[in-house]
Structure 1
Amino acid sequence: MRAIIPDQVKIAYRYPARAVGASGGVLMLVSILLPWSYGGKALDDMSYYGSPSPLQICFGVLAVLVLALLTIPLVGKQRLGAWAKIVAWNTTAKTASITALVTAGIAVTSIAVELGGLVNVEIGGWLAIGGGVAAVASTLFLPDSPEPRLDELKSPKWLQITAIVLLMAAALFAAAFALGQVDAGSFLTLGSFLVAIVMILRQFGVFGWLGMAAAANNRVLVISAFTVAFLFPFTQNGSNANMSIAAQVLIFAATALGLNIVVGLVGLLDLGYIAFLGAGAFTAAVLSESAYSHFDFHPPFIVTVLISGVVASILGLIIGAPTLRVSGDYLAIVTLAFGEIFRITMNNLDGNDGPNITNGSNGIPGIPDLDYFGFNFGQAHVIFGVDIGRFANYYWLMLLVIGLIIVVFTNLNHSRIGRGWVAIREDELAAEAMGVNTFALKLLAFAGGAFLAGIAGAVKAHHDVSVTPDQYIFLESAFLLAAVVLGGMGTVMGVLIGATILKLLPEKLRFFADIRLLLFGLLLVVMMRFRPEGIVADERRQLEFHDENEELAEEVEEELIAHKAHLNPEREAFEL
Structure 2
Amino acid sequence: MNTTTKRPAVPAGTARVITAAGALATAGSTLLAWTYTSAYPGNLTVYGYPGGLQLLTLTSGLITLALALAALGVKGLRWLAPAGTTKALRLSALAGLGTTWFTVVSIAATLGGLVHLEPGAWVAAVASAVPVAGAFLLPDDTRAPAAARELGSWAEILIIVAAFGAGLYVITYGIDTEYGELFTGYLITVGLTAAALSKSGLIARLNALTAKHRTVTIGAAFAAAAAFPFTQTSDQYTSVAANILIFATVALGLNVVVGLAGLLDLGYVAFLGVGAYAAALVSGSPASPFDVHLPFWAAVLVGATASLVFGVVIGAPTLRLRGDYLAIVTLGFGEIFRIAVNNMDGSSGPNITGGPNGVPNIPDLVILGYDFGQPHVIGGITLGRFANYYLLMLVFTAVVVLVFARANNSRIGRAWVAIREDETAATAMGINTFRLKLMAFALGAALAGLAGTVQAHVSYTVVPEQYLFAGPVPPNSAFLLAAVILGGMGTISGPLLGASLLYLIPAKLQFMQDYQLLLFGAALILLMRFRPEGLIADRRKQLEFHEDTAPPTVPDQKTPDETAGLTKAGA
TM-score of the superposed pair, with normalisation by structure 1: 0.90
Residue 37 to residue 135, structure 1, CA distance change in 2 (3 Å): same
Question: Per residue, is there more helix in 1 or in 2?
Answer: 1
Match of 1:552 in 2: 550
Residue 10 to residue 259, structure 1, CA distance change in 2 (3 Å): farther
Match of 1:191 among 187, 192, 198: 187
CA deviation string 1:30-55 (max 9, x = no partner): 31121112322324211112222254
Report the 3-state secondary structure (helix = DSSP H, G, I; strand = E; otherwise coil) of the residue aligned with 1:382. strand
Question: Aligned AA for 1:162?
Answer: L
User: Which of 50-59 and 423-432 deviates more?
Assistant: 50-59
Equivalent pairs: percent with the same residue?
46
Match of 1:406 in 2: 401
CA deviation string 1:506-528 (max 9, x = no partner): 11111221111122112212211
Residue 298 to residue 84, structure 1, CA distance change in 2 (3 Å): closer
Q: For 1:290 and 1:261, locate their aligned partners in 2 and report how far apart those are by CA, in whole Å.
A: 32
Match of 2:373 in 1: 378
**Contact in 1 for aligned 2:43/2:52 (Cα 8 Å):** no
**Contact in 2 for aligned 1:350/1:360 (Cα 8 Å):** yes
Residue 193 to residue 491, structure 1, CA distance change in 2 (3 Å): same
Match of 1:35 among 25, 33, 36: 33
Match of 1:60 in 2: 58
Q: For 2:381 and 2:469, locate their aligned partners in 1 and report how far apart those are by CA, in whole Å.
A: 40
Confirm whether residue 216 of structure 1 aligns to residue 212 of structure 2. Answer: yes
Match of 2:241 in 1: 246
Matches within 5 A, 1:103-114: 103-114=99-110
Residue 452 to residue 9, structure 1, CA distance change in 2 (3 Å): farther
**Contact in 1 for aligned 2:107/2:116 (Cα 8 Å):** yes
**Contact in 1 for aligned 2:250/2:448 (Cα 8 Å):** yes
**Contact in 1 for aligned 2:56/2:185 (Cα 8 Å):** no
Match of 1:278 in 2: 273
Residue 395 to residue 64, structure 1, CA distance change in 2 (3 Å): closer
Match of 1:571 in 2: none
Report the 3-state secondary structure (helix = DSSP H, G, I; strand = E; otherwise coil) of the residue aligned with 1:241. coil
Question: Aligned AA for 1:524?
Answer: L
**Contact in 2 for aligned 1:150/1:209 (Cα 8 Å):** no
Report the 3-state secondary structure (helix = DSSP H, G, I; strand = E; otherwise coil) of the residue aligned with 2:382. strand
Match of 1:442 in 2: 437
Match of 1:168 in 2: 164
Question: Aligned AA for 1:320?
Answer: G
CA deviation string 1:239-266 (max 9, x = no partner): 2121111110111111111100000001
Question: Aligned AA for 1:506?
Answer: P
Confirm whether residue 259 of structure 1 aligns to residue 259 of structure 2. Answer: no
Match of 1:456 among 427, 451, 459: 451
User: Which of 211-220 and 106-115 deviates more?
Assistant: 106-115
Q: For 1:513 and 1:147, locate their aligned partners in 2 and report how far apart those are by CA, in whole Å.
A: 46
Q: For 1:382 and 1:532, locate their aligned partners in 2 and report how far apart those are by CA, in whole Å.
A: 46
CA deviation string 1:192-245 (max 9, x = no partner): 2222332222222111111110110000000001111111111001x2121111
Question: Aligned AA for 2:117?
Answer: V
Match of 1:128 among 124, 127, 149: 124
Match of 2:566 in 1: none
Question: Aligned AA for 2:64?
Answer: V
Q: For 1:488 and 1:272, locate their aligned partners in 2 and report how far apart those are by CA, in whole Å.
A: 20
Residue 467 to residue 130, structure 1, CA distance change in 2 (3 Å): same
**Contact in 2 for aligned 1:150/1:205 (Cα 8 Å):** no
**Contact in 1 for aligned 2:18/2:134 (Cα 8 Å):** yes
Match of 2:263 among 265, 268, 290: 268
Residue 461 to residue 64, structure 1, CA distance change in 2 (3 Å): closer
Residue 139 to residue 454, structure 1, CA distance change in 2 (3 Å): same
**Contact in 1 for aligned 2:265/2:331 (Cα 8 Å):** yes
Paired residues, number: 552
Match of 1:533 in 2: 533
Report the 3-state secondary structure (helix = DSSP H, G, I; strand = E; otherwise coil) of the residue aligned with 1:462. helix
Match of 1:308 in 2: 303
Confirm whether residue 483 of structure 1 aligns to residue 483 of structure 2. Answer: yes
Q: For 1:148 and 1:478, locate their aligned partners in 2 and report how far apart those are by CA, in whole Å.
A: 42
CA deviation string 1:271-323 (max 9, x = no partner): 11000000001111111211110012332211111111111111111221111
User: Which of 509-518 and 456-465 deviates more?
Assistant: 509-518
CA shift at 1:72, angstroms? 5.3
CA shift at 1:18, angstroms? 4.0
User: Which of 422-431 and 101-110 deviates more?
Assistant: 101-110
Question: Aligned AA for 2:287?
Answer: Y
CA shift at 1:87, angstroms? 4.3
Report the 3-state secondary structure (helix = DSSP H, G, I; strand = E; otherwise coil) of the residue aligned with 2:35. coil
Match of 1:433 in 2: 428
Residue 33 to residue 230, structure 1, CA distance change in 2 (3 Å): same
Report the 3-state secondary structure (helix = DSSP H, G, I; strand = E; otherwise coil) of the residue aligned with 2:552. helix
CA deviation string 1:79-125 (max 9, x = no partner): 89987994412222212211111111222233234323333232222
Match of 1:570 in 2: none
Structure 1 unpaired stretches of 5+: 568-576
Residue 409 to residue 71, structure 1, CA distance change in 2 (3 Å): closer
Residue 416 to residue 61, structure 1, CA distance change in 2 (3 Å): same
Q: For 2:316 and 2:480, locate their aligned partners in 1 and report how far apart those are by CA, in whole Å.
A: 23
CA shift at 1:19, angstroms? 4.8
**Contact in 1 for aligned 2:261/2:419 (Cα 8 Å):** yes
CA deviation string 1:50-82 (max 9, x = no partner): 222254243223223334544654569xx8998
Question: Aligned AA for 1:527?
Answer: L
CA shift at 1:408, angstroms? 0.8
Report the 3-state secondary structure (helix = DSSP H, G, I; strand = E; otherwise coil) of the residue aligned with 1:34. coil
**Contact in 2 for aligned 1:151/1:208 (Cα 8 Å):** no
Report the 3-state secondary structure (helix = DSSP H, G, I; strand = E; otherwise coil) of the residue aligned with 2:47. coil
CA shift at 1:401, angstroms? 0.8
Matches within 5 A, 1:317-336: 317-336=312-331
User: Which of 519-528 and 450-459 deviates more?
Assistant: 519-528
Structure 2 unpaired stretches of 5+: 471-475, 563-571
Residue 522 to residue 43, structure 1, CA distance change in 2 (3 Å): farther
CA shift at 1:15, angstroms? 4.7
Residue 123 to residue 224, structure 1, CA distance change in 2 (3 Å): same
Residue 341 to residue 32, structure 1, CA distance change in 2 (3 Å): same
Match of 2:517 in 1: 517
**Contact in 2 for aligned 1:274/1:477 (Cα 8 Å):** yes
